Amino acid sequence: MNLKRRTALVTGGASGIGAGICKKLAEKGASVAVNYLDHRDADRAEKLVEELKAFGIEAIMVSGDVTNESDVKQMISRTIEVFGSLNILVNNAGITIDGVTQNLAVEDFHKVLSVNLVGPFLTMKAALPHMSKNHYGRIVNISSVAGLFGLRGAPAYAAAKAGVIGLSKSTAREVARKGITVNVICPGYINAGMTKNIQQEYLDAMTPLVPMGVFGEPEDIGSGVAFLASDEAKFVTGEVFRIDGGMAM
């Protein structure tokens, strides 16, 4: 998995799984643009960029909201301007707002869809003309096992993550002859980011449902992304990979 001379943009890259993905791509030799949302994340992004540079690659931070089309265009063009190209796009930014279907506010349903599903649509829409011109691209969209089997109390999240699979497969078909692959990773429970807000009691109840008996680490998702971004995965597209310790098999 040699990613030397490759360039990547990771949305929501400053924290949790996103940071693990950035580190793995940098370790394999790719230059990395770390997208962060706003000033709240600027410090984390700045620290991460310094860590990434220690791998001997170029790293930059690019601010922007993935739900805002002009922000997204600016993130992509800034990455291309600094690195000279964009080879790898990782749609990792995500949010969840809990609430069972009968109680969830419609505004919250829209918000969750906006970040998790409209976001990847906008970034792909902005990146594809450049990737098509270069006849090369690796897109990895982060979904969730919730998108495969649903999640009680998170209908918007599960719907958005299932949507990411349909969006990715459709786009994969559209660009398959242009040297561009589009794949999906469905993480199970990972010791980072969103799981930090879940009550310990719930996490303890979930652990035995994972055949491996433990939660994963951000780098486990990073390794999957690095493989799909590599030349070794050149014949893999439209695929959905669970990285979940066997939970959703």
The answer for residues whose C-beta is within 8 angstroms of residue 225's C-beta and 6 or more apart is 21, 24, 25, 90, 140, 185
The yes or no reply on residue 222 touching ligand NDP (CB under 6 A) is no
Give the residue with the Cβ less far from ligand NDP, 5 or 40: 40
Asked whether 35 and 62 are in contact (CB, 8 A), the reply is: yes
The yes or no reply on residue 243 touching ligand NDP (CB under 6 A) is no
The yes or no reply on residue 11 touching ligand NDP (CB under 6 A) is yes
The yes or no reply on residue 93 touching ligand NDP (CB under 6 A) is yes
* Owner of token pair 């809990």: 98
- CB of residue 69 vs ligand NDP: minimum separation in angstroms? 12
The yes or no reply on residue 90 touching ligand NDP (CB under 6 A) is no
Nearest-angstrom CA–CA distance, 16 and 125:
25
The yes or no reply on residue 115 touching ligand NDP (CB under 6 A) is yes
Nearest-angstrom CA–CA distance, 124 and 137:
10
Stretch that binds ligand NDP, among 12-20, 123-131, 175-183, 230-238 (CB under 6 A): 12-20
Nearest-angstrom CA–CA distance, 113 and 34:
22
Nearest-angstrom CA–CA distance, 166 and 151:
18
The mark string for 182-201 relative to ligand NDP (x by CB under 6 A, - otherwise) is -----x-xx-xxxx------
Q: Give the CA angle between residues 86, 172, 113 to the nearest 5°.
A: 85
The yes or no reply on residue 219 touching ligand NDP (CB under 6 A) is no
Subset of residues 31 to 50 that bind ligand NDP, contact rule: CB under 6 A: 35, 37, 40-41
- CB of residue 2 vs ligand NDP: minimum separation in angstroms? 25
The yes or no reply on residue 95 touching ligand NDP (CB under 6 A) is yes
> Six-digit token pair at 158?
């599960």
Query: Which residue among 36, 136, 157, 189 is the active-site one?
Result: 157
Task: Determine phi and psi for 26, rounding to 5 degrees.
Answer: -65, -40
Q: Which position among 7, 31, 67, 237 is part of the footprint of ligand NDP (CB under 6 A)?
A: 67
For this structure, is 189 an active site residue?
A: no
- The DSSP output letter for 190 is B
Q: 187 pairs with which residues across the strands?
A: 243
Q: Which position among 26, 65, 88, 151 is part of the footprint of ligand NDP (CB under 6 A)?
A: 65
Asked whether 248 and 145 are in contact (CB, 8 A), the reply is: yes
- For binding to ligand NDP (CB under 6 A), which residues are involved? 11-12, 14-18, 35, 37, 40-41, 65-67, 92-95, 115, 142, 144, 187, 189-190, 192-195
